Amino acid sequence: MRLPPLVTGRLIQRYKRFLADVELDTGEIVTAHCANSGSMLGVAPPGARVWLSRSDDPKRKLAHSWLIVEIGTALVGIDTGHPNALVAEAIRDGTIAEAAGYASLRREVKYGVNSRVDILLEDDARGRLFVEVKNVHLSRRQGLAEFPDSVTARGTKHLGELAAEVERGHRAMMVFLVQRTDATEMTLARDIDPAYGHAFDKALRAGVEAVAYACRINPQEIVVDRRIPLVG
């Protein structure tokens, strides 16, 4: 995924979930859109170096959008609107080998009980593969990425619906997309959401597959480039 030209600054504060005040390197203070409804635990410290895109669309309330933050030596992608597109791109180019070989790819397809699957792959010979994508940027130990960063009842529901598709004879897969350049493995943050951990274990027993992939991130692009171990 190529990124538009970005401007840099320092985070002043993130608040009301979707807003962030940033002091640009020019000294100007702007309020940027933060496309992330999670807690952003550990990735929104005041003073952190951040990268923002800017739009000239007069219909937008906020011209700037927060895309990347620097945490220690790592770059972290915080825009949760990116992962579905990144994973679709990585499936198409063969990076996510576990999902390769399907004739068609559709996004945001209705399934289950009033839900939409992030990606649906279909093929006359191979059948259907339902893919749910989760953005991962929490890390409380060097090199170890974790999901979720807050309680996710919606995520727990999706695990049950993926298991139901397996029971119907289809494949189903969780793709944890780690938007951190320092991640070498990933695990579940079971202390943050025990219910999600229980539902995940149950889904695996039912035949749902799970993989974790990490990204290469810089101010010019974000690219899915490596599978990392999913542990615990």
Q: Which tens digits make up the pLDDT trace of 129-181?
A: 999 999 999 999 999 999 999 999 999 999 999 999 999 999 999 999 999 99
Q: Report CA-CA distances (Å) from 210 to 71, 91, 98, 172, 196.
A: 27, 15, 10, 9, 14
- Report phi then psi at 115, rounded to 5: -125, 170
41, 35, 18: which is closest to 189 by C-alpha? 41
Render 120-145 in DSSP notation, one character per residue: EEEETTTEEEEEEEEEE-EEEETTEE
Whether the pTM exceeds 0.75: the reply is: yes
Contact 103, 91 (CB under 8 A): no
Read off the pLDDT of residues 29-42 as tens digits, 9 standing for 90 and up.
Answer: 999 999 999 899 99
**CB distance 10 to 49 below 8 Å:** yes
Which residue type is seen at 71?
Answer: I
Mean pLDDT of the chain: 96
Name the residue among 175, 211, 183 with its Cα closest to residue 85.
175
Average pLDDT over residues 201-223: 98
Residues 182/139, Cβ–Cβ less than 8 Å:
yes
What pLDDT was estimated at residue 95?
Answer: 97
- Listed in sequence order, the residues at least 6 apart from 114 whose beta carbon sits closer than 8 Å to its beta carbon are none
Domains in the chain (CATH in brackets) are 6-73 (2.40.50.580), 83-228 (3.40.1350.60)
Local structure of 216: helix, strand or coil: strand
Residue range 39-79, pLDDT digits in tens? 999 999 999 999 999 998 888 999 999 999 999 999 999 99
